[in-house]
Amino acid sequence: MSKLIPIIGLEVHIELSTKTKMFCGCSPDHFGKIPNTQNCPICLGLPGALPFANSEAINSVIKFGMAFNCKINSFSKFDRKHYFYPDLPKGYQISQYDLPLCGQSLDEAPSTLRSGYLLPMLRRERNPSEAKNSSLSSTGLRPRYFAKGDKLITRIHLEEDTAKLVHQEGKTLIDFNRSGVALMELVTEPDFHDAETVSSFLKEVQLTARYLSISNADMEKGSMRLEANISLSSDGSLPNYKVELKNINSFRFLGNAINSEIERQKELLTKGEKVIQETRGYNEKTGKTFSQRVKEEAKDYRYFPEPDIPPIRISKLQISNLKLQIPELPNQKRKRFEETYQLPEDYIEILISDVEKADYFERAVKTVKDFSPKTIADLIINKKFDIAKILKLTKVEYADKSEVERAVRNVIEENKKPYEDYKNGKGQILGFLIGQVQKKLKGTGDIKLVSELLNKNL
DSSP 295-340: PPPGGGG--EE-TTS--EE--HHHHHHHHHT----HHHHHHHHHHH
Whether the CB-CB separation of 42 and 180 falls below 8 Å is answered with yes
CB 345 within 8 A of CB 130: no
If one counts every other C-beta atom within 10 angstroms of the C-beta of residue 111, the result is 6
Whole-Å CA distances, 426 to 325, 357, 387, 419, 455 = 37, 21, 25, 10, 13
**Residues forming a β-bridge with 117:** 152
Q: What is the pLDDT of residue 128?
A: 39
State the Cα torsion 121-125-130-135 to the nearest 10°.
Answer: 50
Asked if residues 187 and 11 have their Cβ atoms less than 8 Å apart, the reply is yes
* Residues paired with 165 in a beta bridge: 174
Q: What is the pLDDT along the chain (458 residues), one digit of tens a residue?
A: 568 999 999 999 999 999 999 999 999 999 989 999 999 999 999 999 999 999 999 999 999 999 988 999 999 999 999 988 899 999 999 999 999 999 843 333 333 334 454 543 343 334 434 433 333 333 333 333 334 345 578 999 999 999 999 988 889 999 999 999 999 999 999 989 999 999 999 999 999 999 999 999 999 999 999 999 999 999 888 999 999 999 788 999 999 999 999 999 999 999 999 999 999 999 999 999 999 887 666 678 899 999 999 999 999 999 999 999 999 999 999 999 999 999 999 999 999 999 999 999 999 998 888 889 999 999 888 888 787 777 776 666 678 888 889 998 898 888 888 777 777 767 667 778 888 888 888 878 877 788 888 877 76
Residue 76's CB is within 10 A of a number of other CB atoms, namely 23
Give the total residue count for the chain.
458
pLDDT at 122: 42
Residue 24's nearest CA partner among 39, 14, 13, 37 is 39
Determine which helix (DSSP H) or strand (DSSP E) holds 452, and give its type and residue range. helix 447-457
Comparing CA positions, the residue from 408, 334, 426 lying closest to residue 140 is 426
If we measure between CA atoms, which residue out of 312, 20, 11, 53 comes closest to residue 181?
20
Cα gap 263→258, rounded to integer Å: 9
The residue type found at 229 is N
220 burial level (CB within 10 Å; 0-12, 13-18, 19+): exposed
Task: Pick the closest to residue 204 from 114, 136, 119 (CA basis).
Answer: 119
The pTM of this model reads 0.79
Cα angle 265, 187, 3; round to 5? 30
Using CA atoms, how far residue 239 sits from 84, 236, 276, 278, 291, in Å, is 29, 9, 12, 14, 20
Q: Give the E-state strand segments of 114-151 in sequence order.
A: 116-117
The whole-number pLDDT of residue 124 equals 39
DSSP helix/strand/coil, 168 = strand
Q: How is the chain split into domains, by residue range? A: 5-324, 330-457
Q: What one-character-per-residue DSSP string does 12-53 give?
A: EEEE---SS-SSSSS----TTSPTT-S--TTTTT-TT-----
**Distance from C-alpha of 214 to C-alpha of 410, rounded to nearest angstrom:** 50
CA distance 269 to 287: 20
> What distance in Å separates the CA atoms of residue 368 and residue 391, rounded to the nearest whole number?
6
| Relative orientation angle of helices 401-414 and 416-423, to the nearest 10 degrees | 90
Q: What is the pLDDT of residue 136?
A: 34
- H or E element that contains 196: helix 195-211
What is the rounded distance in angstroms from the CA atom of residue 264 to the CA atom of residue 458? Answer: 47
Whether 337 contacts 377, CB under 8 Å: no
> 8 in helix, strand or coil?
strand
Q: How far is CA 306 from CA 22, 50, 97, 302, 314, in A?
A: 14, 11, 10, 12, 18
